[in-house]
């Protein structure tokens, strides 16, 4: 059992069909790939990340334990994984992106078992199989819209306060995900391509649910405005209106968050988000255009488009994040 040192471009593995949508690239060196061979010691089925622990030998012949981070339970369930997939003593061969801080921790690319089966995180887009005439139902983000979104978000011009906060941010120690705190909208709903969203349209409100940290937003449609001096929360306060067939959602009163507007870019009390939801002509996609302002940290408003696929064949799964367990799996 040994460590196999391999250096490769991430593009090689992306070409093999693995999308890395759920991880922050801040914690792992996605420009390098290492190979590991050894035995499973523990398999932890929990959120925010499933972790496979294995024992191997380093180049000095010393036995060490590695933690291999995979996706969350909803993502890996749809990838065919089960809570009993790996058992202590199983021989495995692993490809992974190493931790930037040189810990024996890595982000899994693939795990091959002794029987030759290869287990990955499947984030491929689903084909359009159904259409709808309403917003009600289950929706999944489309991966092809994620890369342009992330490039735009992470290249935005920042204020001095935004630049300073980004420079000081440490994903391993500062990420709220480790405390089971999701990113605020738009990230907690339309910001992900690997989690399922569900929309329920009622007479006086619209409910937008996400698998990601079991987030649930209420959009009030009864004509009310935002409350003066209202409570600031992680998901903010949302009011909406119909402009023909377009749902316009206006959200303010966001709580402070250290990494809401891109990796390490915080958001604060002045954040304001406007989203416009519309169906595609064929009814297979939900098109979401949004403009986000946060003048304390962003020089200009950020605007982008995301698209979600109507996916009635999929089921919204429970996330059920435990912060005590989360801190033990790669964030300590």
pLDDT digit string, tens, across residues 108-133: 999 999 999 999 998 777 788 899 99
- As a whole number of angstroms, the distance between CA 84 and CA 42 comes to 11
pLDDT for position 26: 57
Nearest to 29 by CA among 107, 122, 120, 119: 107
Q: What local confidence, expressed as pLDDT, does residue 8 receive? A: 32
Q: How large is the average pLDDT for residues 26-47? A: 90
Report the C-alpha gap between 46 and 153 in whole angstroms.
Answer: 29
Lowest mean per-residue pLDDT among 6-15, 120-129, 184-193, 315-324: 6-15
| pTM (predicted TM-score) | 0.82
> What is the third-level CATH fold of 3-124?
OB fold (Dihydrolipoamide Acetyltransferase, E2P) (2.40.50)
Asked if residue 313 has pLDDT above 60, the reply is: yes
pLDDT digits (tens, 9 = 90+) for 131-167: 999 999 999 988 777 667 777 777 889 999 999 999 9
- Domain with residues 137-310, CATH architecture: Beta Barrel (2.40)
Task: Determine the 3-state secondary structure of 3 from DSSP.
Answer: strand
User: Taking residues 209-217, what's their average pLDDT?
Assistant: 91
State the span(s) of the chain assigned CATH 2.40.128.20: 137-310
Higher pLDDT, 228 or 23: 228
Mean pLDDT of 275-302: 95
For a pLDDT cut of 70, what percent of the chain falls above it? 88
**Token pair in block for residue 228:** 């003066």
pLDDT band with cut points at 50, 70 and 90 for residue 328: low
Which pLDDT does position 191 carry in this prediction? 60
**pLDDT interval class at 14 (50, 70, 90):** very low
Residue 331 has pLDDT above 70, yes or no: no
- What value does the mean pLDDT take over residues 196-207? 96
Lowest mean pLDDT among 26-40, 100-114, 178-192, 214-228: 178-192
| Residue range(s) occupied by CATH 2.40.50.140 in the chain | 3-124
pLDDT of 172 > 90? The answer is no
């Amino acid at each position: 059992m040994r460590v196999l040192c391999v250096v490769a471009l991430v593009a090689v593995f992306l070409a093999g069909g693995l999308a890395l949508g759920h991880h922050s690239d801040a914690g792992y060196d996605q420009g390098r790939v290492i190979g590991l061979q050894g035995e499973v010691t523990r398999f932890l089925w929990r959120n925010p990340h499933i972790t496979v622990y294995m024992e191997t030998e380093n180049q000095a012949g010393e036995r060490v334990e590695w933690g291999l981070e995979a996706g969350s339970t909803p993502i890996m369930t749809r990838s065919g994984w089960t809570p009993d997939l790996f058992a202590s003593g199983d021989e495995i061969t692993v490809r992974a992106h190493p931790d930037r801080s040189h810990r024996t921790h890595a982000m899994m690319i693939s795990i091959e078992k002794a029987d030759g089966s290869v287990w990955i995180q499947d984030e491929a887009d689903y084909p359009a199989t159904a259409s709808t005439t309403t917003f009600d139902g289950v929706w999944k983000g489309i991966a092809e819209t994620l890369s342009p979104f992330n490039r735009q978000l992470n290249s935005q011009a920042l204020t001095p306060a935004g630049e300073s906060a980004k420079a000081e941010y440490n994903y391993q120690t500062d990420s709220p995900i480790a405390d089971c705190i999701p990113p605020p909208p738009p990230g907690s709903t339309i910001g992900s391509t690997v989690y399922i969203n569900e929309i329920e349209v009622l007479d006086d409100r619209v409910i937008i649910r996400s698998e990601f940290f079991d987030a649930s937003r209420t959009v009030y449609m009864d004509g009310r405005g935002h409350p003066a001096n209202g409570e600031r929360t992680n998901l903010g306060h949302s009011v909406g209106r119909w402009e023909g067939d377009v749902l316009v959602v206006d959200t303010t009163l966001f709580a402070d968050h250290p990494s809401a507007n891109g990796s390490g870019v915080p958001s604060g009390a002045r954040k304001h988000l406007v989203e416009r939801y519309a169906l595609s002509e064929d009814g297979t996609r939900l098109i979401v255009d949004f403009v986000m302002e946060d003048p304390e940290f962003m020089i200009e408003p950020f605007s982008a488009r995301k698209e979600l696929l109507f996916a009635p064949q999929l089921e919204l799964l429970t996330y059920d994040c435990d912060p005590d367990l989360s801190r033990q799996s790669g964030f300590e």
